[in-house]
Amino acid sequence: MKKILAPLLICAFLSACAASIGSIENTVSPPRLVKGPDGTIIWDNISAFGPVPKDKLAKDNAMCQAVNPKFYVAGYNSKALDLDGKPFPDGGFICLPK
């Protein structure tokens, strides 16, 4: 019985972890582009970004490096909003220095 119970508990724990990571976008307000105090455009809520999907990683990383070669794509949110509060068709990403 113990041999069966341990794998089931591990699977349940891992499933709960995967569900909580995937649901971050549903529990936090989506990030929105806003004008900062100095007039630069910034994200208002960087904690709302989650992992970058593998199919978007290369393209988004290239876009970050086009802005600054020392940047990399550090996060993605499928519900990110533009300056007008409208969702980006492909979601939004955040670039950070390496």
Domain containing residue 61 = 29-97
Q: How many domains does the chain have?
A: 1
Average pLDDT of the residues in 64-73: 96
Residue 42 forms part of a structural domain: yes
State pTM to two decimals: 0.70
As to burial, measured by CB atoms within 10 angstroms (0-12 exposed, 13-18 middle, 19+ buried), residue 76 is buried
Of residues 89, 55, 94, the one with CA closest to residue 74: 94
Residue 5 forms part of a structural domain: no
Residue 40 forms part of a structural domain: yes
Query: What pLDDT does 49 receive?
Result: 96
Average pLDDT of the residues in 79-96: 96
